[in-house]
Structure 1
Amino acid sequence: MKKVTVVGSGSWGTALAVMLQKHGHDVVVWSRRQDMVDEMENERENKAYLPGITLPEGMKFTTDHEQAVKDAEIIILSVPSKAVRQTVTAFAPFFTDKQVLVNVAKGLEEGSLKRLSQVIQECAPQCEVCILSGPSHAEEVARDIPTTCLIASENEEVAKMVQGEFMNPRFRLYTNTDVIGVEMGAALKNVMALAAGMSDGLGFGDNTKAAIMTRGIAEMKRLGVEMGGKAETFSGLSGIGDLIVTCTSMHSRNRRAGILLGQGKTLAETLEEIKMVVEGVNTVRVACQVAQMHDVEMPITSAIADVLFGGKNTEQAVLDLMSRDGKAE
C-alpha cells in the first residue's frame, strides 16, 4: 500500500480519501482552509461537502503544501477545473520526479482552451499525469456502493499501477490510453447534464431527455474525435457511462442546476442555491470556443451557452433545437 495525498477537500476528494484509507492506504488530505482541517481532524466529518460520512482514523489533514505531498507516491488533484493551474503551480516546487498526479476534475481551461492534463503537465513536467473518470457520485463511493471508473494515461504502465492500488471489491477501474477522449467526455457530459436538467425543470418528459442524451453523446464524440480522441471511448465509462449518471441523478450538481434554470431561476440564483461548483457552467463557453476552433457543429452546447450567457429563454432554446433543418442521423 502507498502513501496517497488528496489535494482538495471537496466531496469527491474526501470520498476517495475515505475509500483509500479504508482499504489500507496512508492518506493525507490537503485543504486550503484551516477551519476545514480542524473540523475533519476533530469531528471526523466533512460537514459541508460529505455530511454523514465518518472519516476513518489514521487519515491526516493539513494546509501545508510541502508536508502534504512529501513522500507521497500518488497525488490526487481534486480541485475545481478553474483552480487546477493555480493549485498545481503552488505545489510544483514540492513535487518530485515521477510522482504520479491523478486528476479528477472535469472541465477545460478558460483562456488557454487546454485540457486539464495539458495544464498539469505544463505546470509540473516532472510528474506522471493520469485522469480518473467515469460514472461516480462521491456520496455513493463514500458509502461503498459498487462503482466502476477508468484511469487514463498515455503511459499505460502508470495507469496499471494506479489501477492496482485503487481497485477493491467496491471500486473497479479499467485502464485507457486515450487521454483526449476521456477528458473531453468528462468535460462535455456536464454541459449535457445542464440541458437534461433544464428539460426536467421545464416539465418535459423522458422522450426529451433521451433525445438530449443521445444527440449529446453525438456532439461529444464529434468534437472529441476531431481533437484526436477515439470514437469508441465515448461509448465507454467516461462517455455514455458518465453521461447517463450525470443526466439522471439528483446527486448531479449539473442536473440540479439545469432544473433550477428550467424553472426560471437566473444563473446567479441557481449557483447560490447549489452552493458548490457546477462544472458545466465553467465548461460550456470554453467548449463553444474549442468547437469553433475545430469547425465542429455543437447545437446543444451552443443552445446552453445562449441560455446561460445570452439571456435566451430556456424553453425557446429547446424549441429552436427541435426546429432545426431535418437531416440524416
Structure 2
Amino acid sequence: MSEKIAVLGAGSWGSILANLLDENGHDVSLWSYKQDQVDELNQHHTNTHYIKDFTYSETLVAYSDLKAALKDATTVLFVVPTKAVRSVASQTKRALAELHTKPALIHASKGIEQDTYKRVSEILAEEIPAESRQSITVLSGPSHAEDVAKKDITLVTAASTDLSAAEHVQKLFMNRYFRVYTNTDVIGVEIAAALKNIIALGTGALHGLGYGDNAKAALMTRGLAEISRLGASFGANPLTFIGLAGVGDIIVTGTSHNSRNWRAGDELGKGQSLEEVIDTMGMVIEGVATTKSAYELAKQRGVDMPITTAIYQVLYEGKDIREAISDLMQREGRSEF
C-alpha cells in the first residue's frame, strides 16, 4: 500500500533511502536546507557531493521548504546528523501543528547528543510530543548508501517499543535487495548504531598505521564487548549486540572505504591532525562527537571502556596513536568474559 513519506536530510543515506522508498511505490518528498542541492536533485536527479555517478528517480521531489515537504505525510523519516536532530525536530513539530497531521516517525541517524547524552529517539520524543506523532522507530544495521544505490543485498533492523510500528517500517522498506527485521530493543539498537562509529575510527587508524587483519579483528571484537557493557548498563538486550545493529554494523563500518569514520581514522593513522581530517572530509564524522559522549557516559556509569578511552585520548587530548595502542596491549591480563 502506497504512503506519503517525508524524508528529512538529503545526505548520502537520506537521499538513497528516499530513492528506495520511491522505487517501492511510495510518494516521497525529500527535504534539504540547501537550495542548490534541492535544485540539483529536481533538475538533474543527481546528488554529486554525496553519491557520485548515481541517477535518482524522476518522481522523487526535493524541497527546501520543510512544511511543504511534510504536507500530507503519514510517515516522517529523519536522516540528519545527530547534532541537527533537535533543531530539525523542533521545526517539524511547528510545521505538523500548522498542518494538523500526526505522522509516524522513523530515524536512521547514528549518534548520541553532546552534553545531554540523549539517544536520537529520546530527542525526537522530547521535541515532538505524543499528541503530535504516532510511534517512533529506529532503522539501523550494516548499510552503506553506496551499496544500497547499487541494489546490493542489504539487511537492517527496525526497532520500536511498539512492535506493530516496527512491522509497519518493515513493510515500507522491504524489497528484493533490502530486507528488514524487527526488534523491540530500541536502547540496544541506538547504542550499537552510535558507538560502532568509534570502533570504525580505531580500525581505520590501524589500517593507516599499517597493522594487519589480526589487529583489526581484535579491535572490533573487544570494541563490541565494551559497547555491550555500556548498553547493558542502560538495560539493553545483550543479544542485540550480536545482531545486525551490533556486530553487523561494526563489520561493515570497521572494514570499508565507504565508511567516513573508517576513512577519518585511516587519515589519522597516516599522520593527519583531527582538524585536517574534519576540514578535508566534507561530511559529518559522527564518531568524533560520539567518542566524547561515550567516554563521558562510561565514566559517569562506571563502565570499563578502554578502547573508547584510548580513542578519546587521541582525539581530544593529543595522545600519540602508537602510544595509545601500546598502553592497551600492556594492560594487566584478564579473563575474556
- 1:111 equivalenced with 2:112 (yes/no): no
Q: 2:117 aligns to what SS in structure 1?
A: coil
Determine what percentage of the aligned residue pairs are the same residue.
Answer: 47
Q: What is the distance in 2 between the residues matched to 1:78 and 1:172?
A: 19
Verify the 8 A CA contact 2:167 2:182 in the aligned structure 1.
yes
**1:198-226 Cα deviation digits (max 9, x unpaired):** 11111011111011011001001000011
CA distance in 2, matches of 1:97, 1:155: 20
Measure, in 1, the Cα distance between the counterparts of 2:69 and 2:91: 12
Q: Which residue of 2 aligns with 1:323?
A: 330
Matches of 1:290 and 1:240, distance apart in 2 = 21
C-alpha distance in 1 between matches for 2:59 and 2:194:
34
If the length of structure 1 is used for normalisation, what is the TM-score?
A: 0.98
1:133 and 2:134 aligned: no
The gaps in structure 2 that reach 5 residues or longer are: none
TM-superposed deviation, 1:315: 0.8
Do the aligned partners of 1:34 and 1:63 also contact (CA within 8 Å) in 2? yes
Provide structure 1 residue ranges, at least 5 long, that are not aligned to the other structure.
none
**Structure 1 contact 146–171 (Cα < 8 Å) conserved:** yes
Between the aligned partners of 2:333 and 2:316, the Cα distance in structure 1 is 27
Q: In structure 2, what is the equivalent of residue 268 of structure 1? A: 275
Q: Which moved more, 1:232-241 or 1:48-57?
A: 48-57
Q: Which amino acid aligns with 2:245?
A: S
Counterpart for residue 152 of structure 1: 159
In 2, the alpha carbon distance for the partners of 1:28 and 1:89 equals 19
Q: 1:120 aligns with which of 121, 124, 135?
A: 124
Separation of aligned partners in 2, 1:152 and 1:301: 25
Are residue 99 (structure 1) and residue 103 (structure 2) matched?
Answer: yes
Per-residue CA deviation, residues 154-212 of structure 1 (Å, 9 max, x unaligned), is: 11111101111211111000010000000000001000000101111110111110110
In the TM superposition, residue 94 of structure 1 has moved relative to its aligned partner by: 2.1
d(CA) in 2 for partners of 1:246, 1:323: 27
- TM-score norm. by structure 2 comes to 0.96
Q: Which residue matches 2:59?
A: 58
How far residue 273 of structure 1 moved from its aligned partner, in angstroms, is 2.1
SS at match of 1:257: helix
Answer yes or no: is the 8 Å Cα contact 1:19–1:144 preserved in 2: no
Structure 1 segments (4+ residues) deviating >4 Å: none
Q: Summarize deviations over 1:133-155 as a string: whole Å, max 9, x none.
A: 00000011112111000101111
Inter-partner Cα distance in structure 1 for 2:71 and 2:164? 23
- CA apart distance, 1:98: 4.2
CA contact (8 A) 1:227 1:294 kept: no
What residue in structure 1 maps to residue 90 of structure 2? 89
Q: One-letter code of the match for 2:63? A: T
SS at match of 1:101: strand
Alpha-carbon separation, structure 2, partners of 1:59 and 1:107: 27
Q: How many Å separate the matches in 1 of 2:54 and 2:105?
A: 25
CA RMSD in angstroms, aligned pairs only? 0.9
Q: Residue 72 of structure 2 contacts residue 101 of structure 2 at CA under 8 Å; is this kept in 1?
A: no
Query: How many pairs are equivalent?
Result: 329
